[in-house]
């Protein structure tokens, strides 16, 4: 009897090991994308942004936040290996989720803010704004300042406490005349 139980346990153990190996093999299989596939990208900086590919010499010029263009997947791969800061610092946002997953860019894209995020921050209480600025990376701080200044200049940002929180948090005056 004991021999049968041991054999049954070994058989179950072998089946579990085989199932784990099959699951691991399935996870390792990654869909191959065409390197010439065009991928939508957008500038995530206030003002101009220029990227020149060291591989092809091609230049992408973005004049303002949210400007979109397309790049070949191979160019994004080149950017990832040679000028990684465009992606790490959130200067360029990859809009194609399939490309984000394929190039494993999710770790960079999770910190990329968009206009809704900035508006949400600017709509918070002064204390929350200060905290958000304190936790933000340099690019996000620059975006907060740029959009806050724009709102200030057109009269959309008028709350003195919010203005003071932004100025104190960023160390810059929103009023260009001061």
Q: Kindly report, residue by residue over 55-91, the tens digit of the pLDDT.
A: 999 999 999 999 999 999 999 999 999 999 999 988 9
The SS3 of residue 40 is strand
The predicted model scores a pTM of 0.71
The SS3 of residue 50 is strand
Q: Whole-number mean pLDDT of the chain?
A: 86
Q: What is the pLDDT of residue 4?
A: 47
User: For 106-116, what is the mean pLDDT?
Assistant: 84
d(CA 72, CA 41): 10
What pLDDT digit, counting tens, does each position of 12-41 carry? 555 555 555 555 554 555 678 889 999 999
Q: DSSP string of 54-103?
A: TTT--EEEE-STT-EEEEEHHHHHHHHHH-THHHHTTSEEE--HHHHHHT
Residues 6+ apart with CB under 8 A from 53: 59, 75, 78, 79
**Do 47 and 76 form a contact (C-beta atoms < 8 A)?**
no
Other beta carbons within 10 angstroms of residue 33's beta carbon come to 15
Extents of the domains making up the chain: 1-30, 38-109, 115-170
**Cβ-based burial of 128 (10 A; exposed 0-12, middle 13-18, buried ≥19):** middle
Q: What is the pLDDT of residue 8?
A: 46
d(CA 138, CA 111): 11
Q: To the nearest whole percent, how much of the chain has pLDDT over 90?
A: 67
**Do 70 and 40 form a contact (C-beta atoms < 8 A)?**
yes
What pLDDT digit, counting tens, does each position of 123-150 carry? 999 999 999 999 998 889 999 999 999 9
The SS3 of residue 124 is coil
């Amino acid at each position: 009897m004991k021999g049968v139980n041991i054999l049954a346990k070994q058989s179950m153990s072998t089946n579990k090991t085989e199932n784990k190996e099959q699951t691991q093999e399935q996870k390792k299989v990654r869909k191959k994308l065409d390197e010439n596939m065009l991928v939508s990208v957008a500038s995530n900086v206030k003002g101009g942004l220029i990227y020149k590919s060291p591989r092809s010499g091609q230049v992408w010029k973005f004049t303002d936040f949210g400007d979109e263009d397309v790049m070949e997947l191979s160019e994004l791969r080149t950017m990832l290996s040679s000028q990684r800061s465009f992606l790490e610092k959130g200067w360029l946002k990859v809009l194609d989720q399939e490309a984000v997953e394929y190039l494993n860019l999710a770790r960079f894209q999770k910190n990329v803010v968009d206009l809704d995020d900035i508006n949400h921050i600017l709509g918070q209480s002064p204390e929350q704004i200060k905290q958000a600025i304190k936790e933000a990376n340099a690019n996000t701080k620059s975006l907060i300042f740029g959009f806050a200044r724009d709102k200030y200049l057109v009269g959309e940002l008028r709350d003195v406490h919010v203005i003071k929180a932004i100025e104190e948090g960023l160390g810059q005056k929103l009023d260009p005349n001061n």
